[in-house]
Homo-oligomer: A and B are copies of this chain.
């Protein structure tokens, strides 16, 4: 598995609720044209069959794009290790309520990326004891995307988490064009966004602007 922390630069996490009728794969590919470096399919309220069809279709488009541009933008599946295995995705992202890390790693092996959400500093310390590929520090700010999230880290908490972690880090939760710069200043290797790209009427441009601001 050739994962590097540079792939965390701008990480798009999906949520079809922001699409207002647009096709998810189209919007993801538009964001990739803008420079997204990693994609996570996080779809709830969807059957396994729909999830697999979506993941298959995105993987096909993404593989072609990667090949044509000599890139490696990984496709990550949220929570469902079986779906990641079925479509041969690049990895999974698991949260504290998902399958325990050790079991996910055992099922996926070391050729796949396994990312783990941490919700507080104690989770960061626990993550240091295992060989996750990256941690998602979540949420940095209060966010409307997820309703089940823990208290926000804030910028100070993010800085502490980054300092404590031995793993590459991506910050997520309420990150947009107005705060991307200060999040990066706090030391994260990258930012993950949902609505900042998906809710934009121009995902390519929104992505480009985020990349400018974050640098």
**Hey, which chain B residues are within 8 Å of A103, CB to CB?**
52, 86
**Hey, which chain B residues are within 8 Å of A100, CB to CB?**
49, 52
In the bound complex, how far is the Cα of B98 from the Cα of A37, in angstroms? 30
Check: A205 CB closer than 8 A to any chain B CB: no
Mark A124-142 against chain B: 1 for CB-CB distance below 8 A, else 0.
Answer: 0000000000000000000
In the bound complex, how far is the Cα of B97 from the Cα of A47, in angstroms? 6
The 8 Å CB contact of A48, one of B49, B52, B97, B106, is B97
A contact set with B: CB distance below 8 Å: 47-50, 52, 79-83, 85-86, 94, 96-100, 103, 106-107
Q: Which residue of B has the minimal Cβ distance to A103? A: B86
A–B Cβ pairs within 8 angstroms, 29 of them: A47-B97, A47-B98, A48-B79, A48-B94, A48-B97, A48-B98, A48-B99, A49-B96, A49-B97, A49-B98, A49-B99, A49-B100, A50-B97, A52-B99, A52-B100, A52-B103, A80-B82, A81-B82, A81-B85, A81-B86, A82-B82, A82-B99, A82-B107, A83-B99, A85-B107, A86-B99, A86-B103, A86-B106, A86-B107
Closest chain-B Cβ to A106's Cβ sits at a distance in Å of 8
Closest chain-B Cβ to A76's Cβ sits at a distance in Å of 15
**Hey, which chain B residues are within 8 Å of A52, CB to CB?**
99-100, 103
Q: Which residue of B has the minimal Cβ distance to A87? A: B103
Task: Give the secondary structure class of A's interface.
Answer: helix
In the bound complex, how far is the Cα of B47 from the Cα of A100, in angstroms? 11
Closest chain-B Cβ to A127's Cβ sits at a distance in Å of 15
**Hey, which chain B residues are within 8 Å of A85, CB to CB?**
81-82, 107
**Hey, which chain B residues are within 8 Å of A96, CB to CB?**
49
In the bound complex, how far is the Cα of B85 from the Cα of A107, in angstroms? 7
**Hey, which chain B residues are within 8 Å of A47, CB to CB?**
97-98
Most buried by B among A48, A80, A82: A82
